[in-house]
Amino acid sequence: MSLSRRTLLAVGLGGASLAAPRIALAQAGAGRVVIIGGGFGGASAARFARDHFQQLDVTLIERSRSFTTCPYGNLVLAGRRDMASITFGYERLAARGVRVVHQSAAAIDPAAKQVRLGDGAVVPYDRLIVSPGIDLRWGAIEGYDEAASARMPHGWMPSLQPISLLRAQLEAMPDGGVFVMAIPDNPFRCPPGPYERISMVADYFKRAKPRSKILALDAKGGFSKQPLFQDAWQELYPGMIDWRGVSNDGRVTRVNAGGMEVETEFGEKIRGAVINIIPPQMAGRIARDAGLANQSGWCPVKPVSFESTQVPDIHVLGDAAIAAPMPKSGFAASSQAKQAIACIAASLAGRPLPPAVYFNTCYSHVAEDYGISVVGVFRGTAERMIEVEGSGGISPRNATLTPERRVEHRRLEAHYADGWYDSITDEMFG
Amino acid sequence: MIPRTLLTLSLLLGVPAWAQAPDANLLAGACAGCHGVSGQGGHGIPSIRQTQNIVEFISAMQAFGANRREATVMGRISRGYSEAEIAALARFYARAQ
């Protein structure tokens, strides 16, 4: 179903009449929806559009032919999953009628309403969805650039660096080594992710390298699901994990990749056998280049539709968008995608926008059979995004559960996490 | 997507924007994240399609919300939705039988 360069050029020069199949144009509310980025936001948007809005002509621009998820990368790190089990292709989306174009998006021209691809072809749109994920802020931590990340992996952007690199370093590490992590301040991709990573590395060490230690240096004073993680660390990995918050000199400001050493704000130098730097982040390049980001590096959007507040007819989804209190998570991106598509369909048909209700659940594995979660239901109004009072929140703490119920609750949440992963990836790629 | 009469009614009554008629397709999109695109469940996650009728669906969601039915995440989830939204979801999954 993918178009050749020649066809796309013809579409670009020929204008709207050639762009969409005649059948689509004949329908009310028809229009060309172009999606940049085939991750949780983009792939979910494409699928939802095909399932519910046949009048929309959908093109997905994604450089890569496969997508490796960030979720469950930490289980690869622990040796509980392999890379193949978290990697997906776009064939099924194409079979559902999405025009999948494996090219990079070089530039967006909002005035002409078109996207220029890496090979020079031009794709016109009526509404554009930009779901580019994140870029890493190289140099925000002094000395941490792309070259340094080969020695001190980030493991935070599967498209840039497979999690298997960090896994290989952990496997090569002698028992008794110290695994050092640097964790950024908010906002960043996947708020509970670093702490799931601590847990899953501990799970691996406990089985394979029990004398090893984990030192987590955090630029924040607190973190997502903190009481649940810390209860579990004490219960499952006593004495193995040392988490230092910002008030305890936890912020890493400099690295020396050659010397395998990090330096904190107040000048303490710490060596590690394996070092994982999760650097500060910003919206993906294409979004910043198109003027979608503000001075924070992230993209402000209207809470009702995820349309950019800075450029009309472009919706920004997922990690790149400013959606707080919604977290930067895959599930959140998928929820935003459905709302954005419904809003696009409504606006093309001249109908009022649907009410904006968003949903997120983030599961984290603390051990293979020990899962915890945070849930949120959100509503977008013209002014702001709000979390519904009295709903959502984290799993109950140990102290509030009977011992039997506690074991069952954690086991079930680990199991449901696997179910969530199967369901949401099946929706995108199945 | 929203019947015109309902929309007019909500405008006349001056109810807040999010109180306009719920969009069941969108609401069910949240359920799909775990329960699957058509609510089929799997991997230990219950099928929503097994909920045979509207009354059963609504009373299950109410029981979750009031902590009268044991759950991991469903209590925290159901408290985020209005009665009208839960009713819309109940009709949606009843139709999907």
Whether B66 and chain A come into contact, CB under 8 Å, resolves to no
Whether B27 and chain A come into contact, CB under 8 Å, resolves to yes
Res B9: pLDDT = 42
3-state secondary structure labels for all residues of chain A: CCCCHHHHHHHHHHCHHHHCCHHHHCCCCCEEEEEECCCHHHHHHHHHHHHHCCCEEEEEECCCCEEECCCCHHHHHCCCCCHHHHEEECHHHHHCCCEEECCCEEEEECCCCEEEECCCCEEECCEEEECCCEEECCCCCECCCCCHHHHCCCCCCCCCCCHHHHHHHHHHCCCCCEEEEEECCCCCCCCCHHHHHHHHHHHHHHHHCCCCEEEEEECCCCCCCHHHHHHHHHHHCCCCEEEECHHHCCCEEEEECCCCEEEECCCCEEECCEEEECCCEEECHHHHHCCCCCCCCCEEECCCCCEECCCCCEEECHHHEECCCCCCCHHHHHHHHHHHHHHHHHHHCCCCCCCEEEEEEEEEEEECCEEEEEEEEEEECCCCEEECCCCCEECCCHHHCCHHHHHHHHHHHHHHHHHHHHHHHHHHHC
pLDDT tens digit sequence for A406-419:
999 999 999 999 99
Q: Which residues of B touch A350 (CB under 8 A)?
A: none
Cβ neighbourhood burial of B14 (10 Å; 0-12, 13-18, 19+): exposed
pLDDT tens digit sequence for A108-137:
999 999 999 999 999 999 999 999 999 999
Whether A423 and chain B come into contact, CB under 8 Å, resolves to yes
Hey, are the CB atoms on A352 and B36 less than 8 Å from each other? no
Mutate to test the interface with A, among B1, B5, B61 (most CBs of A within 10 A): B1
pTM of the shown model = 0.91
Hey, are the CB atoms on B80 and A377 less than 8 Å from each other? yes
Q: How far is B30 from chain A (nearest CA, A)?
A: 6
Lowest-confidence pick of A1-5, A102-106, A155-159:
A1-5
Hey, are the CB atoms on A381 and B18 less than 8 Å from each other? yes
Measured in whole angstroms, the distance separating CA B7 from the mean position of its chain's CA atoms is: 20
pLDDT at A20 exceeding the cut of 80: no
Mutate to test the interface with B, among A228, A347, A370, A375 (most CBs of B within 10 A): A375
Whether A356 and chain B come into contact, CB under 8 Å, resolves to yes
ipTM value for the complex: 0.89
pLDDT classification of A168: cutoffs 50, 70, 90? very high
pLDDT at B51 exceeding the cut of 90: no
Hey, are the CB atoms on B42 and A419 less than 8 Å from each other? yes
Cβ neighbourhood burial of B82 (10 Å; 0-12, 13-18, 19+): middle
Q: Which residues of B touch A383 (CB under 8 A)?
A: none
pLDDT at A15 exceeding the cut of 60: no
pLDDT tens digit sequence for A345-390:
999 999 999 999 999 999 999 999 999 999 999 999 999 999 999 9
pLDDT at A16 exceeding the cut of 80: no
Mutate to test the interface with A, among B43, B49, B82 (most CBs of A within 10 A): B43
Q: Which residues of A touch B18 (CB under 8 A)?
A: 355-357, 379, 381
Hey, are the CB atoms on B45 and A412 less than 8 Å from each other? no
Q: Closest chain A residue to B81 measured between Cα atoms? A: A377
